[in-house]
Amino acid sequence: MNSVFSFARLGALLIKEFIQMRRDRITFAMMLGVPLIQLVLFGYAINNDPKSLPAALVATSNDPYTRAIVAALQTTGYYRFDHVAQSAAEAEFLISRGDVAFVVTIPADFARRVESGNNPQILIEADATDPAVASGAISTLGTVASQALLRAQGTQEAAAEAAKGQLDVVVHRRYNPEGISQYNIVPGLLGVILQMTMVMMTSIALTRETERGTMENLLAMPSSPLEIMMGKVLPYLAVGGVQVVVVLAAAKLLFAIPFTGSMSLLLTAVLIFVLALVLLGYTISTIARTQMQALQLTFFFFLPSIMLSGFMFPYRGMPDWAQAFGEIFPLTHFLRITRAVMLKGAELPAVAGEIGWLVVFVALFAGVALVRFRRTLD
Amino acid sequence: MNAIDVHGLVKRFGDKTVVDHVTMSVAEGEIVGFLGPNGSGKTTTIRIMCGLLTPDEGEGTVLGFNIRTDSLRIKREVGYMTQKFSFYEDLTIGENLEFVARLYRLKPVEEHVASTLEDLGLTSRRNQLAGTLSGGWKQRLALAACIMHKPKLLLLDEPTAGVDPKARREFWDEIHRLASGGLTVLVSTHYMDEAERCHRISYISYGKMLATGTVAEVVRNAGLTTFVLQGPRLDQVAEALQGRPGVDQVAPFGATLHVVGSDKKKLEAALADVEKEHKGVKVSPGETSLEDVFIQFMSGSKDNMA
Ligand SMILES: Nc1ncnc2c1ncn2[C@@H]1O[C@H](COP(=O)(O)OP(=O)(O)O)[C@@H](O)[C@H]1O
Ligand SMILES: [Mg+2]
């Protein structure tokens, strides 16, 4: 008789765990409902392509070119010129207070320079404190302004060709020079939501048995540490799988996130990530003595992983030591994989290294959990 | 071969010695009662025997398996009923039994579960959540679950605490039925009547084994003398007896007074005095009960609960 692993015993543990999960309606609803609610809430709230942002215009002359450019910017939907500043200083005040997200400055000599073909410039200052705010508005800017200018020149019957390509749009991203890409947030949210629910649920897996007094019985019966671990981890892996499908479907339907890359590659990576998470949670539950301790440990892990994984702040913007520290979180690697696969259409070779990292986490957490598992009540 | 053979077991929690050089043997087919006040180390000793705790000192075998190295084998052959109900309250009776049947790889599962339910008269309650059962039914479920895999040894930790007398009687009938089928039983209890239903008893107090043997042996070896007093105003007599040399226990029993002492001469002298002082009091020799012996043990052993 094999004492280390038997499918019959694992089956017993799995069935028991699924029944308990089903009976615990609130937790079950939480595991499936909360991710969806969070996705919708954060996904819409954290809009990284916001429109109709307040803008201030600093324009001293009222020539047709200036008017054409302002009109064109307004038509993009990004800019809402509800402030007209009289001076650069006033505009500076508005943006520093956060009253406006942009200051568009069209110099007094703009018309003259356009007509003489002498390198006309407009200046856009963007409040990039939250880099996501500015990126959409800025990315459309150059073309919109140039086209507007060309049209304006056409109506003035001036030499359109001469001015073509000459408009110089100077962009100053203020306060935070590094912007993040447009669809960052939803893949990131997937990772964070999974991490939150999976680690938290499994971190109380063993402490709950201990606190309810069922651990003594479980240990008195012939189940091996490996079976107990798998019996706890696999049901949550299944829940994680369902969560992934729900969140990805919602991402597609609600946010039209492009899925450029291979779906099977993405799902494989996500499942390995979820496995690493449930094993991490289980490891926590072999260390914590009470459910409270387990939750504290979970949060202790949770916050730095959000901060340093590249979810909150651009990874490349962090100092070297912080980047090195960030590598120890599965979320960091997961974010790289999802962004690469979902948005850039990366194939397996490009993300194999990161997937390898996740596999290392799986092995590491499983190993620690098995070593930490107490077969006795000592 | 004895079903249980352990010697010199020591278990410490911090600097507190909870089990202090406990030696115990239980022959096959025997029902042994494990007695002792709360916190005296019964549960801890039983846990060591079924491999749930590692002893700090001492050796032993359970069903021939070493308690230190073979705990997995022991777990497969022993049925352990925990002091606190430790099956899943959010699973039904049937689901709990199915869980146990699968863990022990009993095949076919359904047959084992059905016959267990049948034996215990729980068939109609199969789909009831275990958490909604009353104390007595929980005990029966726990017993049913831990004998399902036909263990050779049953370790029962206070199985009848908080169970009504009828259910206790039925429980013990069941234990005797199982023992006659060759099962060995070690059962911890507080109830004297239950101790009397055991083939042998062991009394542990604050980690130390104080007495072992049949009830008659334990009573005899305790060397106590008991007198029964009858007459008027026994409450005043009791008061007069308290604290006199030779008088260890004074306890009213209905219309009589039981007086117990370990030194027969001094006790007789004390009683002679009291008989003179209180007219109408009649002193006659009495039977020392197991309870008298245990109370003697309890007042004699120093408290190490603190
Ligand atoms: N895990 C533990 N850690 C510390 N002390 C314990 C532990 N388990 C039991 N004890 C202490 O050991 C003593 C004996 O407990 P126990 O074996 O449960 O006694 P009994 O079952 O006879 O009532 C008690 O004082 C109890 O507080
Ligand atoms: Mg106890």
Kindly provide the b/e burial profile for residues A333-347, where b requires at least 16 CB atoms within 10 angstroms of the residue's own CB.
bbbbbbbbbbbeebe
| B50 in A contact zone (CB under 8 Å) | yes
Cβ(B39) – ligand 1 distance below 6 Å = yes
**Model pLDDT, residue B63:** 95
Instruction: Answer whether B86 sits within 8 Å of A375, measured CB to CB.
Output: no
Nearest residue (CA) to ligand 1, atom 26: B39
DSSP character string of B205-265: ETTEEEEEE-HHHHHHHHT-EEEEEESS-HHHHHHHHTT-TT--EEEEETTEEEEEES-HH
Compare CB distances from A376 to B54, B88, B95 and report the shortest one's residue: B54
Residues with CB under 5 A from ligand 2 (ion): B 43, 83
| Chain center to CA of A221 | 44
In the block, tokens 């003489």 appear at A116
pLDDT band at A342 (very low <50, low <70, confident <90, very high): confident
Compare CB distances from A223 to B50, B91, B103 and report the shortest one's residue: B103
Compare CB distances from B52 to A6, A23, A220 and report the shortest one's residue: A220
In this prediction the ipTM stands at 0.85
Question: A134: helix, coil or strand?
Answer: helix
| B89 in A contact zone (CB under 8 Å) | yes
Residue B224's nearest CA partner among B165, B294, B175 is: B294
Residue A111's φ and ψ, nearest 5 degrees, are: -60, -45
Nearest residue (CA) to ligand 1, atom 6: B13
Residue B39 CA, ligand 2 centroid: distance in Å: 7
Task: Show the tokens assigned to A5.
Answer: 């692993």
Specify whether the CB–CB gap between B120 and B177 falls below 8 A.
Answer: no
Mean pLDDT within A288-292: 91
**Model pLDDT, residue A31:** 74
Residues of A in contact with B87 (CB under 8 A): 214, 217
CA distances from A30 to B193, B276, B280 (A): 51, 80, 78
Residues of B in contact with A8 (CB under 8 A): 102, 105
- The CATH superfamily of A53-174 is abc type-2 transporter like domain (3.40.1710.10)
| B85 in A contact zone (CB under 8 Å) | yes
Residues A226 and A5: their CA atoms lie apart, in Å, by 7
Q: Check whether the bond before B108 is cis (ω within 30° of 0).
A: yes
- Enumerate helices (H) and strands (E) in chain B, giving the number of each: 11, 14
Ligand with an atom nearest the CA of residue B161: 2
What is the CATH number assigned to the segment(s) B4-219?
3.40.50.300
| A15 in B contact zone (CB under 8 Å) | yes
Residue B30 CA, ligand 2 centroid: distance in Å: 21
Residue A278's nearest CA partner among A194, A371, A338, A187 is: A194
Residue B141's nearest CA partner among B159, B120, B155, B110 is: B120
Best of A216, A373, A374 to mutate (most B CBs within 10 Å, chain B): A216
The model's pLDDT over A298-319, given as tens digits with 9 standing for 90+, comes to: 999 988 898 888 787 767 667 7
Give the dihedral of Cα atoms A88, A91, A93, A97; nearest 10 deg.
Answer: -160
pLDDT band at A159 (very low <50, low <70, confident <90, very high): very low
Residues B196 and B257: their CA atoms lie apart, in Å, by 23
In chain B, domain spans: 4-219, 225-287
Task: Show the tokens assigned to B287.
Answer: 């039977």
The region of weakest confidence among A5-9, A156-160, A295-299 is: A156-160
The model's pLDDT over A259-283, given as tens digits with 9 standing for 90+, comes to: 778 889 999 999 999 999 999 999 9
Which ligand 1 atom sits closest to the C-alpha of B42? 22
pLDDT band at A132 (very low <50, low <70, confident <90, very high): low
DSSP character string of B144-155: HHHHTT--SEEE
Which CATH number is B225-287's, of 3.30.70.1230, 3.30.70.330, 1.10.3720.10, 3.40.50.150?
A: 3.30.70.330
Cβ(B13) – ligand 1 distance below 6 Å = yes
Residues of A in contact with B86 (CB under 8 A): 212-217
Specify whether the CB–CB gap between A122 and A173 falls below 8 A.
Answer: no
pLDDT band at A243 (very low <50, low <70, confident <90, very high): confident
Mean pLDDT within A334-344: 82
β-pairing verdict for A102-106 and A53-59: parallel
Compare CB distances from B75 to A1, A6, A222 and report the shortest one's residue: A222
In chain A, domain spans: 53-174, 181-372
pLDDT band at A178 (very low <50, low <70, confident <90, very high): very low
Residues B162 and B191: their CA atoms lie apart, in Å, by 11
Considering all CA atoms of chain B, what is the largest pairwise distance in Å, rounded to the nearest integer?
Answer: 75
Ligand with an atom nearest the CA of residue B37: 1
Going by the DSSP 8-state scheme, the letter that residue A323 receives in this structure is H
Specify whether the CB–CB gap between B205 and B259 falls below 8 A.
Answer: no
Instruction: Answer whether B87 sits within 8 Å of A214, measured CB to CB.
Output: yes
In the block, tokens 């359904």 appear at B110
Task: Show the tokens assigned to B211.
Answer: 């007495």
Residue A258's φ and ψ, nearest 5 degrees, are: -70, 135
The model's pLDDT over A181-210, given as tens digits with 9 standing for 90+, comes to: 435 677 788 888 889 889 988 998 889 999
pLDDT band at A173 (very low <50, low <70, confident <90, very high): low
Best of B11, B74, B90 to mutate (most A CBs within 10 Å, chain A): B90
The chain A residue lying nearest B68, using CA atoms, is A376
Task: Show the tokens assigned to A306.
Answer: 């959000």
Residues B152 and B51: their CA atoms lie apart, in Å, by 16
Q: What angle do CA B85, B86, B91 make, to 5 degrees?
A: 105
Question: A23: helix, coil or strand?
Answer: helix
Q: Which residues are within 8 A (CB) of A138 and not within 5 positions of it... i.e. 6 or more apart? A: A124, A126, A171, A173, A179
Mean pLDDT within A133-156: 68
**Model pLDDT, residue A166:** 61
Q: Hey, how many other C-beta atoms are within 10 angstroms of the C-beta on A352? A: 12
Cβ(B189) – ligand 1 distance below 6 Å = no
The chain B residue lying nearest A4, using CA atoms, is B72
Across chain B, which has 306 residues, the per-10-residue mean pLDDT values are 94 94 94 92 95 94 94 91 94 96 93 91 91 89 92 94 86 91 93 90 92 92 91 86 87 89 89 85 90 84 44
The region of weakest confidence among A31-35, A254-258, B24-28 is: A254-258
Minimal Cα–Cα distance from B169 to chain A, Å?
25
Residue B62 CA, ligand 1 centroid: distance in Å: 22
**A–B: how many Cβ contacts below 8 A?**
82
Question: B4: helix, coil or strand?
Answer: strand
Q: Which residues are within 8 A (CB) of A63 and not within 5 positions of it... i.e. 6 or more apart? A: A110, A111
Compare CB distances from B90 to A13, A23, A377 and report the shortest one's residue: A23
Residue B90 CA, ligand 2 centroid: distance in Å: 24
Specify whether the CB–CB gap between A344 and A334 falls below 8 A.
Answer: no
Residues of B in contact with A11 (CB under 8 A): 102
The pTM assigned to this predicted structure is: 0.79
Cβ(B306) – ligand 1 distance below 6 Å = no
Residue B204 CA, ligand 2 centroid: distance in Å: 12
Residues of B in contact with A1 (CB under 8 A): 76, 105
Mutate to test the pocket of ligand 1, among B18, B186, B297 (most ligand atoms within 8 A of CB): B18
**Model pLDDT, residue A162:** 47
**Model pLDDT, residue A179:** 40
The chain B residue lying nearest A18, using CA atoms, is B91
H helices of A140-224, where?
A: 141-155, 160-163, 185-203, 205-212, 214-220
The region of weakest confidence among A146-160, A240-254, B27-41, B140-154 is: A146-160
